[in-house]
Every structure is written in structure tokens, then in C-alpha cells.
Amino acid sequence: MDHVDRILAQWQAARPDLDVSPMGIMGRLKRLQVHLARQLETVFSQHELNAASFDVLATLRRSGPPYALSPSDLMDWTMVSSGTMTNRIDRLAQAGFVSRERNPEDRRGFVVALTDKGFELINRAVSAHVDNQHKLISGLSDEERAQLDHLLSRWLSDFE
């Protein structure tokens, strides 16, 4: 019995007329998110990053050569506002992980590009991140992982 089971039992006793089973799914997802975020942040901090800075650097890295995107493309991929992205870019540029360069396709704009320092950092960090993710799901069998991934993908597609 986990913490959510105890909450559900309390609700069942207090309101037996309600089907609170969705509360179990939502509560477990919320509690898992807290635990997972804590574990992910531990790895990010070992590389002097946080989830936000990792997200920007990883987005640039996986975009492929020349590892550069416009700020609006970064916003689309990371799902943050313009102001938030500007702050993230500023911090990463100050640390020497990214640079701002004129957009070769549109000289009025600019692109954010990984520097050599940023490229090396994100390569190390993403390797550690993937290792950590494997550890975090190690309690599930391969079949359970596939089932969970399928169900979450199906559910997410309802929203997206």
C-alpha cells in the first residue's frame, strides 16, 4: 500500500458515492514527478546545470550540425515563453555554453549555437542523464516499460 492508496481509502470512507479511481492515477503521476525531478536534478547539478539549462543545451545538441536554432525554434521545442527563453539563453551565453550569431538565412535575426564548451558539456551531461533514466526505470521489466510507454503515449495524444 502506497501513500496514494491511503488517500483513496480516506476518500472512499468519506465519500463512498464517488469513484475516486482517477485520483489514484493522478496522485501517483504527481508523486512520481516529484521523485523523478529530484533524481534528474541531482545529475544535472553534477554538471553545473539545472533542468532548464539542460533542456536548451540538449535541444541544440539533438538538432544536429550546426547545433544552432532560432530563439523561436527553441521556444517551440522547449515549450516556454519568450521571456523565459531569453533568460535561459542569457545565462548560458554568460557561462560560455552558447553564442548568439546572425542567422545566415535571415540577417535580421539570430540563432543560438552551442559553443565547443557547451557541446562537450551536453555530451557528458546527456550520457549521465540517460544512465540515470535507465536506473530510474530499472524496477520495471522490458514488457512493463513498453506497456507504460504505449499507454502514456496514447493518453498524451488525446491532449496534443
64-84 pLDDT tens trace: 999 999 999 999 998 888 889
- Tell whether 40 and 63 lie within a shared domain: no
Query: Residue 102 pairs with which residues in a beta bridge?
Result: 110
The number of distinct structural domains making up the chain is 2
DSSP state letters, 22-89? HHHHHHHHHHHHHHHHHHHHHHHHHTT--HHHHHHHHHHHHT-TT-EE-HHHHHHHHT--HHHHHHHH
Q: What per-residue confidence (pLDDT) applies to 106? A: 75
Inter-helix orientation angle 116-136/21-46, to 10° = 140
Q: What per-residue confidence (pLDDT) applies to 149? A: 96
Q: What per-residue confidence (pLDDT) applies to 59? A: 96
- Tell whether 96 and 20 lie within a shared domain: no
- Tell whether 40 and 55 lie within a shared domain: no
Q: What per-residue confidence (pLDDT) applies to 1? A: 83
- Tell whether 84 and 149 lie within a shared domain: yes
- Tell whether 99 and 149 lie within a shared domain: yes
Domain residue limits at 26: 1-47
pLDDT tens per residue, range 89-139: 999 999 999 999 888 777 778 999 999 999 999 999 999 999 999 999 999
pLDDT tens per residue, range 5-57: 999 999 999 999 999 999 999 999 999 999 999 999 999 999 999 999 999 99
- Tell whether 73 and 42 lie within a shared domain: no
- Tell whether 79 and 151 lie within a shared domain: yes
pLDDT tens per residue, range 14-27: 999 999 999 999 99
- Tell whether 43 and 61 lie within a shared domain: no
